[in-house]
């Protein structure tokens, strides 16, 4: 009986360990995984799109070129060159490098040439230990000393500050990469929105031509007494509806162009983008392992560098409780007359070492240490929050892409069925078997189905860019 209890205990312990290992492995994997997409042909508006671009590799730094649109490539190149936020980020890098050189200077001695001339008149009533009245005396002092001041970095306080400034400089460079990623993704997302609006506009133009044709047919049939005036009014109403949508589309397109002008650093007055059309399926973004995300995202690199810098500053702050040692010296010439200032007898020097140990400063040093430690904890929590946010962004991007793509595939059948129904309804109307209301409903359904397919395809393009941003695929 005892052996059975031991065996049952060992089995239960094994199952607990196995479950814990399984949970650990699950935490290393994404909830949503990218399924490989087969080559497909999609009906987007009036166009048939096939997959003609290669999959997007994770190490592809110029990922926007994988979408196949040269117009987008030109916009991105212009944004990298002229974007104002990137220029500001570059000035931040230069400031961080200058600050690094300032801190680095503390490792070297300070040598100064300090020439001076002084003329002094001593009072005739100055104290005289020997008694009697003294006369006034005028003194001249000519001095040309070379002074040296150097703090001995015995405990490495200055080295820690230099290392901290180096890390902050690296963080400013990673911050620029993060801003570059945001700028490029915003350019790509707005360009694809422009692409979507152009595709919708082409669709609306073709629909407008169809509505104009329908209005002519309806007016002719009304003139022949075959239909009532209500059919003519409906045809005019449907035509006006499409024309209103066209104008709204142009307004939205103009707004997107203004956004792109700002992103590319160009005066919006002289900025315009020629209408284009959807040509390619979006590239497939190959799966990136979860543990690699903190290594690829520049914002996480910035947060990690801030933690390392804070650790160096905490260490340096603690060393300020230890004694400091200074080497001071001066060598030069001192004389009462300028004529013999450079004589050997005018030479003067002094050298020495000074020690300084803080005894009481009202708790200033301890408070400074607590401040640095608090900054370190703050940076650590910011990093943890950013890691969780990055995982959430990747998971959300994957899930959104999955649902949008499935909707887009399902939409293909809807578009095909709506077109067939509209053709059949138009044929029956010309034969006088149905009224014009059925034609209006069928054509409206086709327009809505085709518009939705264009919008879903635009969302998939934008979703790919959002996923790339979440993965942190940044150009060097």
DSSP secondary structure string, 151-208? Answer: EE-SSSHHHHHHHHHHHHHHHHHHHHHHHHHHHHHHHHHHHHHHHHHHHHHHHHHHHH
CA distance linking residue 366 with residue 350, whole number of Å? 36
Q: Which pair of structure tokens corresponds to residue 309?
A: 């810098």
CA distance linking residue 186 with residue 64, whole number of Å? 11
Q: How many CB atoms lie within 10 A of CB 216?
A: 11
Contacts of 172 (CB under 8 A, 6+ apart): 89, 92, 93, 95, 96
β-bridge pairing 110-113 and 116-122: unpaired
CA distance linking residue 375 with residue 317, whole number of Å? 12
Q: Which helix (H) or strand (E) holds 140?
A: strand 137-152
| 310, 365 Cβ separation under 8 angstroms | no
β-bridge pairing 41-44 and 110-113: unpaired
pTM for this predicted structure: 0.82
Taking each helix axis as running N to C, give the angle between helix 157-223 and helix 298-319, from 0 to 180 degrees, rounded to the nearest 10: 160
List the chain pLDDT tens, one digit each, 476 residues. 445 444 544 455 444 344 443 444 445 565 555 555 554 556 565 555 665 555 555 556 788 888 888 999 999 999 999 999 999 999 999 999 999 999 999 999 999 999 999 998 888 787 887 777 778 888 889 999 999 999 999 999 999 999 999 999 999 999 999 999 999 999 999 999 999 999 889 888 888 888 888 888 888 878 888 778 888 888 888 889 888 989 999 999 999 999 999 999 999 988 999 988 888 777 777 666 777 788 889 999 999 999 999 999 999 999 999 999 999 999 999 998 888 888 888 899 999 999 999 888 888 989 999 999 999 999 999 999 999 999 999 889 888 888 888 888 888 888 888 888 888 888 887 777 777 778 778 888 888 888 888 888 889 899 989 988 988 887 76
Kindly report the backbone phi and psi dihedral angles of residue 141, in degrees, each rounded to the nearest multiple of 5, phi listed first: -135, 115
CA distance linking residue 411 with residue 445, whole number of Å? 12
Residue 125 is predicted with a pLDDT of 82
| 235, 215 Cβ separation under 8 angstroms | yes
Residue 291 is predicted with a pLDDT of 79
Q: Name which of 351, 459, 448 is nearest 403 in CA terms.
A: 459
Kindly report the backbone phi and psi dihedral angles of residue 408, in degrees, each rounded to the nearest multiple of 5, phi listed first: -65, -40
CA distance linking residue 271 with residue 283, whole number of Å? 28
Residue 45 is predicted with a pLDDT of 58
Query: How would DSSP label each residue in 327-353?
Result: EEEEEEEEESSSTTTTSGGGEEEEEEE
């Amino acid at each position: 009986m005892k052996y059975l209890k031991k065996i049952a205990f060992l089995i239960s312990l094994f199952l607990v360990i196995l479950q814990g290992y399984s949970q650990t492995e699950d935490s290393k994997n994404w909830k949503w995984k990218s399924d490989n997409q087969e080559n497909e042909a999609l009906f987007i508006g009036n166009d048939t799109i096939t997959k003609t671009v290669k999959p997007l590799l994770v190490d592809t730094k110029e990922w926007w070129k994988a979408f196949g649109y040269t117009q987008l490539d030109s916009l991105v190149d212009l944004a990298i060159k002229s974007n104002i936020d990137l220029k500001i980020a570059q000035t931040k890098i230069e400031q961080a490098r200058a600050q690094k050189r300032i801190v680095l200077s503390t490792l070297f001695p300070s040598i100064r040439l300090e020439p001076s001339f002084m003329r002094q008149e001593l009072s005739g009533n100055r104290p005289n230990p020997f008694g009697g009245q003294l006369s006034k005396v005028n003194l001249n002092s000519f001095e040309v000393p070379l002074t040296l001041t150097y703090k001995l970095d015995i405990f490495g306080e200055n080295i820690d500050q230099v290392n901290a400034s180096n890390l902050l400089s690296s963080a400013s460079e990673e911050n620029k990469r993060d801003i570059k990623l945001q700028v490029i993704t915003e350019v790509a997302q707005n360009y694809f929105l422009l692409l979507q609006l152009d595709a919708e506009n082409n669709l609306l133009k073709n629909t407008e031509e169809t509505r104009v044709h329908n209005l002519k047919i309806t007016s002719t049939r009304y003139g022949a007494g075959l239909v009532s005036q209500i059919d003519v009014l409906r045809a005019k109403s449907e035509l006006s509806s499409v024309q209103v949508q066209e104008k709204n589309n142009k307004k939205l397109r103009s707004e997107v162009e203004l956004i792109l002008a700002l992103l590319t650093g160009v005066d919006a007055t002289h900025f315009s983008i020629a209408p284009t059309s959807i040509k390619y399926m979006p590239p497939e973004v190959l799966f990136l392992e979860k543990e690699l995300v903190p290594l690829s995202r520049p914002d996480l690199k910035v947060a990690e560098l801030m933690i390392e810098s804070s650790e160096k500053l905490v260490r340096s702050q603690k060393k300020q409780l230890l004694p400091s040692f200074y080497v001071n010296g001066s060598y030069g010439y001192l004389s009462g007359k300028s004529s013999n200032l450079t004589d050997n007898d005018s030479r003067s020097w002094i050298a020495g070492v000074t020690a300084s140990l803080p005894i009481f400063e009202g708790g200033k040093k301890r408070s400074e240490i607590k401040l640095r430690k608090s900054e370190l904890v703050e940076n650590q929590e910011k990093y943890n929050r950013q890691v969780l946010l990055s995982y959430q962004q990747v998971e959300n991007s994957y899930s959104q892409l999955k649902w949008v793509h499935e909707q887009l595939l399902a939409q293909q059948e809807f578009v095909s069925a709506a077109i067939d129904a509209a053709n059949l309804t138009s044929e029956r109307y010309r034969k006088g078997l149905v009224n014009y209301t059925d034609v209006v409903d069928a054509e409206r359904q086709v327009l809505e189905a085709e518009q939705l397919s264009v919008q879903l395809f635009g969302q998939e393009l934008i979703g790919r860019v959002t996923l790339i941003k979440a993965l942190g695929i940044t150009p060097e």
